[in-house]
Structure 1
Amino acid sequence: MAPNKKTLPPCSPIHVGDCEVTIESSNFTYESDSNGLSIKVSRKAKINIAVKRVGSGNLIKNNEMGLSECGGEGKDQSDMSRGDEYSFALLNPKDADNHSTSLLQEVLKLYKKELPAMRFAANTGKESMFLERCISNGKYCTLIFKCKASEGLEEVLAAMTYQIVPADTQYAEIPTAAVSSTYQQK
């Protein structure tokens, strides 16, 4: 018999540029301004991001992330629900303050740990600055998924570095992305 899924009522959609964000959770907060959207959730949540077609109201893409499935190897459900706050942050090195810069350094550590082969140039074996350039030169933005423990410590759980390909296309270039090994499900 399949497990029952409880669907939580979504909040009113939050509009950010050409995106519509809905959050299904019993406990969440968000802040929206002209530079972006910050969402903080605890426990079980579902975040839907839909991109509208330019010039129409039709939604063309729907991505979902179920945070209740976030616990990876080495983390039991009680660890994941002890009051930690999970949030996304979109970082652009051109606009980085001290906190954003330290988060980008955490992303670099995550990439070096989880993607060790990317530290070396292809076919030469020489050490490369590719990862450092990706996150620090301003060409790419980095979307991070982080956890803030009740003790106040922040941990980057996953990151994706990307750039939107010119506006007439609907694609993004993603040179690198990683999830911390303790949160990967194998």
Structure 2
Amino acid sequence: MLLAIPYPVLQAHRGWGDMNLPKGFKDSSALRKQWKRVGEFVRSNEDMSHQEKMKSIILLEPVGYLANEHFQTLRIDLSNELLIETLQKFMEEGILKNAPKDDFPYTLHRHFFRDEDMMNSLHTLHQKVETYSAMIEDLYPQTMKSWEKEMLVHGTLGYLLHNEIIDRLSEKLKDRFDVFSNTLRQIKF
């Protein structure tokens, strides 16, 4: 495992039906939730064949693993009032509707997790995903173009970040979050 990145790079392991789990791997419902979301995101891509989707889900499971590690350290330390004020500002200024979908999860991350360590952690996560993506480039079905693979990896990470942030906001704000939930969940990747 390089830089704590799980990857199926050993030639002898590449035919296995699942990713190589890192040493010390601990199963959890939070991790399974991320793997489920990886599958949801990949299956939603209408331009991919069934075979491409199934292979891509297996290859992208480590992105769910890496994201889940990052999510273990996320804490929303802002008051509920400040969170509501920020979400209302987002809606009034059209940020939720007009932000580029690729940047949107990172915009949310910057606003709700202001701690410098969180931004460093997000940067580290992004670097790990980039490194992992380069390692698995040749494992995708040959029918997929290079840009499709890159978009799939980045879209998967954005989808995971977006949904985790929505989950955290929903938990923290509880029923007061209902006003924002539909708009936040409508953003598609």
TM bracket, shorter-chain basis: under 0.3
Structure scoring higher RCO (CA < 8 A, sep ≥ 6) equals 2
Which is richer in strand? Answer: 1
TM-score by length of 1: 0.28
Which is richer in helix? Answer: 2
